[in-house]
Amino acid sequence: MPGLHFRDARAPKGMRLYAIGDVHGRLDLLAAMYDAIAAEIARDGVADWRVVHLGDYVDRGPDSKGVLDFLIDRRTRDARFLCLSGNHEQGLLDFLDAPSATGLFVRFGGVETARSYGVELTAGSIEAGHRALAAAIPAGHREFLRSLPTSASFGDFFFCHAGVRPGTPLARQDPHDLVWIRDEFLLHAGLYEKVVVHGHTPGTAADIRPNRVNLDSFAVGSGRLSALAVEGGAKRILEATVEAVSQRAATTP
């Protein structure tokens, strides 16, 4: 099957797609992005749309709990909001199942996540911190985290957190690769069956390539949350900051 170039990729007829990159506890940026998307949909009278989140809602930033509350509320009210799993969601679940001082959660931002639930997690009190966090996290948050799929596909776009393994059909990707893969995917220049829209690898802005789009613009550090909007063959990048949401045409170099 021939590969598909970003410039030729299209959303399903009559549907507008939004994909949002890694949030990492930045509820302020997420809320700003949602306000901008809702205003666009209302302004343009869009009848059919989807908002796809690419994972990594928790860790590093100041309000992981608030982000999960926000996403659960939106998904409960409208199934057109889709949330995929990132490796940090899996890291939080791993910590809740078997606490470890050397796991992803403790080493890469879980301290901030625990603090958002009112729990102080320190290297010298992992067991006590685990007990406190397990008691503080609502059952609905756990159910949400466990329910997250690892991929979604609409039109000519395939959405996942980290990427895909080159040479393997999109329908047969390993769920572990979808949330963890990096170098093999990022270094691959060949086209896929669909354009892969992902996050996981932070940059300073959305990165558009012929075969993929990386929407991880390091929101927690850059103060910028990125999204891709597609309608028909028209593509835009939205960027939410604490000041405003801006947009630009999305094209390959």
What CA–CA distance (Å, rounded) separates 169 from 164?
9
Q: Report residue 191: phi and psi, to 5°.
A: -80, 150
pLDDT at 2: 77
Give the Cβ contact number of residue 109 at 10 Å: 22
The pLDDT tens digits of the residues spanning 134-171 come to 999 999 999 999 999 999 999 999 999 999 999 999 99
Place of tokens 């990048």: 237
* Cβ contact 58:113 at 8 Å: yes
Residue 102: which residues within 8 A CB-CB, separation 6 or more? none
Averaged pLDDT for residues 126-131:
94
CA dihedral over 112, 113, 119, 125, signed as positive or negative:
negative
Q: Report residue 114: phi and psi, to 5°.
A: -60, -40
Give the Cβ contact number of residue 153 at 10 Å: 15
pLDDT at 252: 84
Choose between 109 and 251: higher pLDDT: 109
Evaluate if residue 1 carries a pLDDT over 70: no
The pLDDT tens digits of the residues spanning 63-76 come to 999 999 999 999 99
Output helix, strand, coil percentages for the chain, rounded to the nearest 5: 40, 20, 40
Evaluate if residue 123 carries a pLDDT over 90: no
Evaluate if residue 42 carries a pLDDT over 90: yes
The pLDDT tens digits of the residues spanning 164-199 come to 999 999 999 999 999 999 999 999 999 999 999 999
162: left (phi over 0), alpha (psi -120 to 50) or beta: alpha
What CA–CA distance (Å, rounded) separates 32 from 161?
22
Residue 12: which residues within 8 A CB-CB, separation 6 or more? 154, 155
Pairing relation of β-strands 195-198 and 157-160? parallel
Residue 75: which residues within 8 A CB-CB, separation 6 or more? 81, 82, 83, 144
pLDDT at 124: 81
- Where does the pLDDT of residue 77 fall: very low under 50, low under 70, confident under 90, or very high at 90 and above? very high
The pLDDT tens digits of the residues spanning 11-24 come to 999 999 999 999 99
